[in-house]
Amino acid sequence: MYRSNGERIFAAKLHKRKVIFAYEPIKLAWQRPIQHYTPDFRITRADGSVFYVEYKGYFRPGSRTIMMYVVAQHPDLDIRMVFQDWTKRISKTSKTTYRAWCENKNIICANKNMPLAWMKK
């Protein structure tokens, strides 16, 4: 059902915390030209508000491009990222880590697990 072992493990952690979520619940259009992006998880808070989580082990250049477009073109959606290891660099020649890349793009991210604070609005 999940596209990666990392996503499966992340989903198991959400289940353990009794977090209400859906896996790949929607497809979002983005321009260049029109494409579609499917976020990995839709998380539902107790108050009914939702946010989306993209779980990444390896953050490929193409995925970074897509995230830039999707976040910019859907400012009404709360899209966040969880990395297996956010200290990894975006390339062998770059000093930029996955975390630094997200911070530079104003994308909320976390390392390994979804912080419980995300469940509060």
Q: Encode burial over 59-95: b for 16+ CB neighbours within 10 A, e otherwise.
A: beeeebebbebbbeebeeebbbbbbbebeeebeeeee
- Give per-residue pLDDT as tens, 3-33: 899 999 999 999 999 999 999 998 887 666 5
User: Which CATH number covers residue 28?
Assistant: 3.40.91.30
SS3 (DSSP) at 27? coil
Identify the domain containing residue 67 by its residue range. 5-119
Which pLDDT score, from 0 to 100, does residue 45 have? 96
Task: Count structural domains, the chain.
Answer: 1
Six token digits for residue 98: 């996955």
Which pLDDT score, from 0 to 100, does residue 111 have? 98
- Give per-residue pLDDT as tens, 33-46: 557 889 999 999 99
Mean of the per-residue pLDDT values of the chain: 92
